[in-house]
Amino acid sequence: MTSGAFLAGRENLLKTLMTAVRYIWIFSAIVAGTAIGTIYGWERHGLGGALGFGLIGFALGATFANSPELVLELLVSIYG
């Protein structure tokens, strides 16, 4: 195996890992946002609140999934 082939394989591996991490991030952000919204809505307002706040949580989770930098900025501004 030549060094060029090794580096190309390494780049492909890093690309694959970054894609996997990105998909895990997207999934977890959307699920967490939806779950938090649904639980809050259910506890405070019943079934209608669970549906409404679940939808709001889904939208916020999708927004955060699209921009991890936004989540980091919010965490730094809150705890920094």
Q: What is the pLDDT of residue 7?
A: 67
Q: What is the pLDDT of residue 3?
A: 63
Taking the C-alpha atoms of residue 68 and residue 29, their distance in angstroms, rounded to an integer, is 9
More confident residue, 27 or 5: 27
Report which of 77, 52, 73, 78 is spatially closest to residue 63, judged by C-alpha positions: 73
**68 pLDDT more than 60:** yes
Taking the C-alpha atoms of residue 18 and residue 5, their distance in angstroms, rounded to an integer, is 20
Q: What is the pLDDT of residues 35-55, one digit of tens each?
A: 999 999 999 999 999 999 999
pTM: 0.79
